[in-house]
Structure formats: C-alpha cells, structure tokens
Amino acid sequence: MKFNRIVCVDETKLNKQAISDLEKYADEVQVYHDYPETEMEVIDRMGDAEAIIVSWRTQIGEEVIKKCQNLKYIGMACSLYDDESANVAVKFAREKDIVVKGIFDYGDPGVAEFIISELIQLLNGYKGKQWRELPKELTDLKIGIIGFGVTGQLLAKCLKPFGAEVYYFSRTRKKDKENEIKFLPLGELLKTCDVISFHLPKNAEVMGPEEFEHFGNGKILINTSLGLPFEEAAFAKWISSGSNHAIFDGDGKKELSENTKNLENVIACEKSAGYSSQTLVRLSEKVLQNIADYFKENE
C-alpha cells in the first residue's frame, strides 16, 4: 500500500533522512520549505494528495478539507494536545474518515534547559537584568508549574537537584506524582510561588486581571507555550509595575504585540526553546512512525 502523493505543505522541519524515507509510503512526495500565506495556497499545494504533513503554523480548516476530497491522512509535525487547540480541524477530518495523527515528547529537554538557563541568568544578573538587589540561587526558590504534562514533569525533575521548592497546577491532577511535587489550586499557587512557568496547549488562557493580582509583584513569569496563556492587557499592566520580570522563548512570545514585547523587564528570546538537532531527529522519527503505524493499522 502507498499513498498517491504525500505533500509537506509547509516547513515541517523533517530532516533529510525522513524526507527521503517518505518515498516508501507514496508514489510521489512534494515538499515545501516555506509557509503558505492564504487558504487558497494551502488548497493548491495539497491538490489531489491522499496524505499531507503540516507544522503547527499552517491552518488546515474545514474548508481546506472539503476542497481536498482525496485526503486520507493528516500528519501533524507538532503536538496534538486536544482537538480544540489544534491548527487542524481534527473532529471534522475524522468525521470524513481522515486519520489525523500528532506527535509528542520531541522538544521537551530543550524547553527545560532553556527555562533553567534563562532563570539562572536573570537571578544572577549575568545578562544585565537582575531579579533582586542581590544575586540568588535556585535553592529554596518557590517555582510553580502550570500544566503538568511531559514538559512540566521534566522541568520539575530537573529543578529538584538545585533545591528549588516546586509546585504544580493542572486541571487534571497527577496524584501518582504528588509524593514528589505538591499540587496547589491555581490561586494558591500564584500567591505561594515566586516564579511560574506555563506548559499548556495552544491559547489555553488561565490568567486574567484577578489572577495577576493574586500573583502579586516581585515575581517572574515564564512562557514557552504556543500562544498566550494569559490576557495580554492584564499581563502588560502587571509587568509595568517595575519589580516583575517575564521570560519568553520564540514560540511563547509569538502572539505578544510589539508594544508588550518592548516593555521593560520583558525578556523575549528569538529562538524556540524546543529547537535543537536532537529535536529534529525525534520529530522526524515520530512523524515517520505515525505513517508506518497507519499502514499497519490498515493492512
């Protein structure tokens, strides 16, 4: 069994080996290394393809799926946390008997490394900005993790040897982890912790004016989630207090307005924290494995 055509409709970051291996699964493989600017351009790229691979940046909505009637398989070269936050109309696709598969756990180590690196630099003033008057270690620092999936759990594990006090909040409690990491309701976590780090599905907003008031001043906020897990106006007011700091990677800052990015004490890095040579290998292997599994399931 083979697809008639597989199209990588945008820059999926598949490595050369994975792109070569796609030929095992299709009579024709077409690869794009940029991002389509319009829905019509997406449709034109897909054409009569039975399978596509897409990054998180390109929307594959209902109208696109309707127009591409040969489509049997959508491979997401990104995480698929839930149907609502996905850039693919997952539910609609499945109603049309189109298989949609995402990947997980491919960029988590890089995210944890980024957070710890940037936090240490801010605590000690290594890059100019310093959190408090005197440098501070991670020891005894109260850190709250909001969203306790694979990345959040890995970050907690990495912080423990430094002696940080780590807490977590998640809408789904992980009671099997609570012998090591204490769960706190969101309001209590915000009041307790000096630092919070978001690890949530795209655009899962959990903080507005009331939550920022609970969080208070003299605090640090870290976002490496896709989209903003907070109301931007409330964040802008909070960060403008002068005693607060915020750290964003390239993905976490993407939806911040230019005015907010340029506010004092906003540290907005250009690079995605989850991007590394190892990440690309894991991403590529998982995308290919999903296609291989599809054919096994449909033998």
Best CA proximity match to 269, nearest among 254, 245, 248, 252 = 248
Residue with tokens 């109309």: 89
C-alpha 273/C-alpha 254 separation (Å) is: 13
0.85 cut: is pTM over it?
no
C-alpha 136/C-alpha 122 separation (Å) is: 9
Place of tokens 């970050």: 155
Q: What is the pLDDT of residue 185?
A: 97
Mean pLDDT of 18-34: 96
Mean of all residue pLDDT scores within the chain: 94
**Predicted local confidence at residue 85, as pLDDT:** 76
Contact 145, 164 (CB under 8 A): no
**Distance, CA of 287 to CA of 207 (rounded, Å):** 33
Strand ordering across the sheet containing 165-169: 182-183, 165-169, 142-146, 195-198, 220-223, 245-248, 266-268
Rounded to whole angstroms, the Cα distance separating 250 from 208 reads: 22
Find the largest Cα–Cα distance for the chain: 65
- CATH fold of the domain at 108-268: Rossmann fold (3.40.50)
Q: Where in the chain are all domains bearing CATH 3.40.50.720?
A: 3-103+277-297, 108-268
Q: Tens digit of pLDDT for each residue in 61-118? A: 999 999 999 999 999 998 877 777 789 999 999 999 999 999 988 888 999 999 999 9
For 171, residues 6+ apart whose C-beta sits below 8 A from its C-beta are none
CATH T-level topology, domain 3-103+277-297: Rossmann fold (3.40.50)
Answer whether 228's CB lies under 8 Å from 251's CB: no
pLDDT of residue 84: 75
| Mean pLDDT confidence for 278-295 | 95
pLDDT in tens, 135-182: 999 999 999 999 999 899 999 999 999 999 999 999 999 999 999 899
Q: Give dist(CA 54, CA 12) in Å, integer.
A: 6
| Per-residue pLDDT at 104 | 83
Phi and psi torsions of 143, nearest 5°: -120, 125
